[in-house]
């Protein structure tokens, strides 16, 4: 019985992915998308990966981290340096860059994860914030990263022309995180969030799982960084300051802590929104902020609950929920 | 039936969404008699003042040209239109801004204002083959493609110009430097300056770097301990204001020299006498009699005194005009090849011409602070 239910869910999920891909790819390759939206496809995917991976530490582990952009920059620079120096065909060098970027970022995940094991809550948040700034300063001071001038002329291996590949990576990330959360390890991570002392008391190696959550989140942030570098073609240390970390955090908070589907939806909305508002000229960022406030209020309002409880909507959300 | 209804509703919603993201695709080339200049720069965020200045300067130029009947291209006259998009000085936002402008029928690009944004769109502009002129992007790599030109000096050129001015013209032998190593502009100017000073036989007594912050006592004290005759500070005016104030507190009397980032220091510094005697490069001086007309118009329109970025934006529009007239066509290829044949008298220099490599050829202007006001240095 149970297996059957899971299969049904899986089929639904795959169906949704196929439909989303078919619609977007059809629009893209059919030439129906405007150039503005075409250039948004990859940033949407990047933000989905970032938000879903940050959700692992912030939502499921329950620790506020403000250094996600730091991991992203480690991945971005590692990946960019690899493709700039290797000069192999795309199919060889880009996967190497992705994996190396992810691994390098997770190495930094270990470096930050181990010393802050004893910290919780606000203290941990401040340490991760500082850590992000340290990475930024290091990149600024190193000659291999070209210091403040940054790298430019990175091959565009991940721009809209390679959307299919980026889309697959995004889906893989979502599945990896989702499966991890549902696994034994994920349950352990959630138990640390829910009751630290109880988790420790039942014999869960709290430190191990904490570090693991950090490392996995850092790995995927690194991958997002590699895609970012190969989409834009230039990298500057200032791009990855704490504002970027907070931008990602906003997505996670809006989507709901510990909700992967929420993170995905919020990432899509928050990436597209400022671009849709371009018509508003100088009121653009003001409108963006107002819409953000409105969405946050709506998200925690009774109105939303009531809409979700409504018969017709409930049927749709039930399908979507499993995504 | 209920299911059917739902499917229809979903279908309609999907169509609407699709229509909204694809609908605005065919606005381009609306009118053969308008030439759309797209602009990209930061209108919000930390660097907003630069983008806003460029935009306003360019708007004034466009208005002037259109009021005078437009640009004569061949045997007909066409109007200019400026569409300016915000990029928050972020490279990835610049890419979407660029694409959004292409959706709206951009014929040539005025931008980007900041270097990082420029670098991220130069290859796109190359692919589309349109003429791109940056008013203020100063990194050397920006003009690597043959369709890209720049109006301002590159960072290295600023450093070299200042080194030649200080060592050769003014006869200083020993110079101390204070620069911001987390900033590409500051680092770029400093490196070229240091190389040129060595070449001209001068010495850098000490090069003090800072990353961020408002306290420069450490750096200034260490400079005071050397036998430097002058201080070169290739930084922005906000930092420069702190530095001159703290230097005065430490009773450092050495003359200050700066790069074009110093423009605006008098509005920031608390005691204007501390900046007295400082000399810096600036492409534009609002007190210049030749700029009086522009300054008056700008003041009337925006209630502010134009800075060098506004002048840059203004001049780029006139460069477009000259290129259009020379090419006698709105064709991008013709425009690009006519760029090397034009000469424009602008606010940032007279007889500005461009090399095939995309660099401007114009004289350097020095400003000095005299009696608490900017003055042209002799």
**Per-position DSSP letters for B280-324, written without gaps between them:** EE-S--TT-GGGHHHHHHHHHHHSS---HHHHHHHHHHHHHHHHH
Q: Which residues of B touch A (CB under 8 A)?
A: 6, 14, 18, 21-22, 24-25, 43-44, 85-86, 90-92, 95-100, 102-103, 116, 119-120, 123, 139, 141, 181-184, 186-188, 211
**Six-digit token pair at B114?**
């900041």
pTM of the model: 0.84
Give the separation between CA B93 and CA A231, rounded to whole angstroms. Answer: 12
Domain match, B259 and B317 both: no
Which of B240, B265, B282 is at the close of a domain?
A: B282
Under CATH, what is the fold of the domain A34-321? ABC transporter involved in vitamin B12 uptake, BtuC (1.10.3470)
For A241, nearest residue in chain B (alpha carbons): B90
Give the separation between CA A110 and CA A214, rounded to whole angstroms. Answer: 7
Domain match, B66 and B101 both: yes
Confidence of residue B12 (pLDDT cuts 50, 70, 90): low
Local structure of A27: helix, strand or coil = helix
Domain match, B130 and B235 both: no
Domain match, B145 and B190 both: no
Backbone angles phi, psi at B233, to 5 degrees: -130, 90
Bridge pairing between strands B349-354 and B344-346: antiparallel
User: What confidence tens digit (pLDDT) does each residue in A208-240 have?
Assistant: 898 999 999 999 999 999 999 999 999 989 889
- Kindly report the CATH number assigned to the domain that includes residue B311: 3.40.50.2300
Domain match, B118 and B203 both: no
pLDDT for A313 equals 65
- Cβ–Cβ contact A236 with B under 8 A: yes
- Cβ–Cβ contact A172 with B under 8 A: no
Which of B282, B312, B329 is at the close of a domain?
A: B282
Domain match, B47 and B87 both: yes
pLDDT for B29 equals 46
Q: Residue B226's domain spans which residues?
A: 156-282
The mean per-residue pLDDT over the stretch B274-288 comes to: 88
Residue B38 has pLDDT above 50, yes or no: yes
Residue A316 has pLDDT above 70, yes or no: no
Total number of domains in chain B: 2
Which of A172-176, B48-52, B260-264 is the least confident region?
A: B260-264
**Six-digit token pair at A256?**
């709901």
Is A236 in Cβ contact with B184 (below 8 Å)? Answer: yes
Give the separation between CA A227 and CA B87, rounded to whole angstroms. Answer: 20
Residue with tokens 């996670």: A252
Is B86 in Cβ contact with A234 (below 8 Å)? Answer: no
* Alpha-carbon radius of gyration of chain A: 20
Q: How far is B140 from chain A (nearest CA, A)?
A: 11
The mean per-residue pLDDT over the stretch A202-206 comes to: 91
The larger pLDDT score, comparing residue A314 to residue B146, is at B146
Of B85, B98, B182, nearest to A278 by CB-CB distance is B85
Angle of CA points B189, B190, B194, to nearest 5°? 120
pLDDT for A96 equals 94
User: Where would I find the H helices in A114-236?
Assistant: 121-141, 163-182, 184-194, 196-201, 206-232
User: What confidence tens digit (pLDDT) does each residue in B320-365 have?
Assistant: 999 999 999 889 999 999 999 999 999 988 889 999 999 998 888 8
The mean per-residue pLDDT over the stretch B271-289 comes to: 88
Q: Which residues of B touch A285 (CB under 8 A)?
A: 44, 86
User: What confidence tens digit (pLDDT) does each residue in B69-103 have?
Assistant: 999 888 888 999 999 999 988 888 999 999 999 99
Instruction: Specify if B349 maps to a domain.
Output: yes
Is B184 in Cβ contact with A153 (below 8 Å)? Answer: no
Instruction: Specify if B23 maps to a domain.
Output: no
Q: A159-198: buried (b, 16+ CB within 10 Å) or exposed (e) per residue?
A: bbebbebbbebbbebbebbbebbeeebbebbbbbbeeeee
Is B184 in Cβ contact with A148 (below 8 Å)? Answer: yes
Domain segments of chain A as ranges = 34-321
Is B91 in Cβ contact with A232 (below 8 Å)? Answer: yes
Is B22 in Cβ contact with A27 (below 8 Å)? Answer: yes
Q: Which residues of B touch A39 (CB under 8 A)?
A: 95-96, 98-99
Residues above pLDDT 90, as percent of chain B? 56
Residues above pLDDT 70, as percent of chain B? 92
Q: How far is B52 from chain A (nearest CA, A)?
A: 10
pLDDT for B183 equals 83
Helix (H) or strand (E) holding B84, with range, is strand B76-86
Instruction: Specify if B17 maps to a domain.
Output: no
Is B141 in Cβ contact with A236 (below 8 Å)? Answer: no
Q: How far is B182 from chain A (nearest CA, A)?
A: 5
Is the distance from CB of B42 to CB of B118 less than 8 angstroms? no
């Amino acid at each position: 019985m149970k297996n059957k239910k899971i299969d049904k869910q899986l089929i639904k999920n795959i169906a949704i992915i196929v439909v989303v891909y078919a619609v977007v790819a059809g629009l893209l390759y059919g030439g129906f998308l405007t150039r503005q939206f075409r250039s948004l496809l990859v940033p949407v995917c990047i933000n989905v990966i970032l938000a879903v991976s940050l959700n692992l530490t912030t939502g499921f582990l329950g620790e506020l981290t403000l250094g996600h952009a730091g991991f992203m920059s480690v991945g971005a620079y590692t990946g960019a340096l690899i493709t700039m120096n290797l000069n192999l065909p795309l199919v060889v060098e880009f996967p190497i860059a992705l994996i190396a970027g992810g691994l390098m970022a997770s190495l930094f995940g270990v470096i930050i994860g181990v010393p802050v094991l004893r910290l919780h809550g606000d203290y941990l948040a401040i340490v991760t914030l500082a850590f992000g700034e340290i990475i930024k300063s290091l990149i600024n001071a190193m000659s291999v990263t070209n210091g403040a001038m940054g790298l430019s002329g990175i091959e565009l291996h991940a721009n809209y022309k390679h959307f299919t590949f980026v889309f697959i990576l995004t889906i893989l990330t979502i599945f990896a995180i989702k499966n991890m959360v549902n696994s034994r390890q994920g349950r352990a991570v959630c138990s640390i969030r829910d009751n630290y002392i109880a988790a420790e008391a039942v014999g869960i190696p709290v430190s191990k799982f904490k570090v693991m959550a950090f490392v996995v989140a850092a790995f995927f942030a690194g991958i997002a960084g590699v895609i970012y570098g190969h989409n834009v073609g230039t990298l500057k240390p200032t791009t990855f300051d704490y504002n970027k970390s907070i931008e990602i955090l906003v997505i996670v908070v809006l989507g709901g802590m510990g909700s992967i589907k929420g993170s995905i939806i919020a990432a899509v909305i928050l990436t597209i929104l400022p671009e849709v508002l371009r018509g508003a000229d100088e009121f653009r960022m003001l409108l963006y902020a107002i819409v953000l406030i409105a969405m946050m209020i709506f998200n925690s309002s009774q109105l939303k609950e009531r809409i979700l409880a409504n018969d017709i909507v409930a049927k749709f959300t039930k399908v979507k929920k499993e995504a | 039936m209920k299911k059917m209804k739902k499917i229809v509703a979903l279908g309609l919603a999907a169509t609407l969404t699709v229509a909204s993201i694809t609908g605005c695709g065919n606005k381009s080339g609306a009118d053969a008699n308008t030439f759309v200049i797209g602009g990209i720069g930061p209108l919000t965020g930390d660097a907003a003042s630069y983008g806003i200045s460029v935009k306003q300067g360019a708007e004034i130029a466009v208005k002037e040209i259109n009021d005078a009947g437009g640009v004569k291209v061949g045997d007909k006259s066409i109007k200019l239109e400026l569409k300016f998009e915000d990029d928050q000085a972020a490279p990835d936002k610049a890419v979407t801004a660029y694409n959004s402008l292409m959706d709206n029928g951009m014929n040539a690009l005025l931008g980007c204002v900041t270097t990082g944004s420029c670098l991220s769109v130069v290859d796109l502009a190359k692919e589309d083959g349109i003429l791109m002129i940056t008013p203020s992007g100063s990194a050397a790599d920006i003009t690597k493609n043959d369709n890209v030109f720049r109006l301002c000096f590159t960072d290295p050129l600023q450093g070299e110009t200042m080194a030649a001015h200080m060592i050769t013209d003014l006869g200083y032998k020993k110079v101390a430097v204070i620069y911001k190593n987390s900033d590409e502009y500051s680092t770029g100017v400093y490196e070229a300056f240091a190389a040129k000073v060595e070449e001209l036989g001068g010495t850098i007594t000490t090069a003090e770097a800072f990353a961020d912050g408002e306290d420069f006592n450490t750096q200034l004290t260490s400079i005071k301990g050397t036998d430097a005759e002058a201080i070169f500070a290739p930084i922005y005016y906000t930092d420069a204001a702190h530095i001159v104030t703290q230097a005065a507190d430490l009773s450092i009397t050495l003359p200050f020299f700066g790069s074009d980032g110093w423009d605006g220091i008098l509005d920031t510094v608390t005691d204007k006498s501390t900046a007295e005697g400082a000399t810096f490069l600036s492409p534009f001086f609002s007190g210049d009699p030749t700029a009086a007309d522009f300054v008056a118009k700008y003041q009337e329109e925006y209630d502010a005194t134009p800075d060098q970025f506004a002048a840059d934006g203004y001049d780029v529009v006139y460069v477009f005009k000259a290129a259009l007239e020379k090419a006698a066509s709105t064709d991008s290829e013709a425009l690009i090849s006519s760029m090397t044949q034009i000469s424009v008298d602008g606010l940032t220099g007279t007889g500005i011409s461009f090399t095939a490599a995309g660099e401007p050829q114009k004289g350097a202007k020095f400003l000095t602070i005299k009696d608490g006001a900017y003055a042209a240095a002799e």
